[in-house]
Amino acid sequence: MAMKDVPDNIFMTTLDAAASWARANSLWPMPFATACCGIELMATASSRFDLARFGAEVMRFSPRQCDLMIVAGRVAMKMLPVLQRIWLQMPEPKWCISMGACACTGGVFDTYAVVQGIDRFIPVDMYIPGCPPRPEQLMAGIIALQDKIKHGGTLNGTEFARRDHSTGPVPFDKDELIRIREANEQLISLN
């Protein structure tokens, strides 16, 4: 193709790169805020930290309008089916940020009622450490996710098809199985 006829204000790029550039700069978050991380998430969206600078200020409370789920806070056993359902309702392409120690690992809540890391049951793209993370950390996480989208994104989302297994630890690790067996043995000896 003759390049000399192309005017100065026309750029040549791949469709993948153009789509990823657009997607990365207009993330619409779904705030799944269940605990104190949600307060930091709200602070990040408000004027002092201003998430709008990164194109991610449009918090939508309908999952059908969102493409970024921010799970901020601990997820209780009773809440996980809701979380999975909301995730499945979000249209493609979509990403998930696990914000804070509780969403990533269960944090200090190592009890029967709290899921030990959402990555065991839904896919997670970015983990943000902290208890709770400061708004700067959340923004750093969003910038890192934008970078990931810009460098790995494709127009039709083929990069997601390869992720066909859970990113988290397997639901039962060996220690957990031993603990459950011990608990049951203790129960039998008591009765």
CB of 187 vs another protein, minimal distance in Å: 6
Quote the CA–CA distance of 179 and 162 in Å, as a whole number.
34
Binding mask 66-105 for another protein (x = CB under 8 A): -----------xx-xx--x--xx-----------------
Binding mask 33-72 for another protein (x = CB under 8 A): ----------------------------------------
Residue 185 sits in the site that holds another protein (CB under 8 A):
no
Interface residue list for another protein (CB under 8 A)? 77-78, 80-81, 84, 87-88, 110-116, 120-123, 160-166, 171-172, 176, 179-180, 183-184, 186-187, 190-191
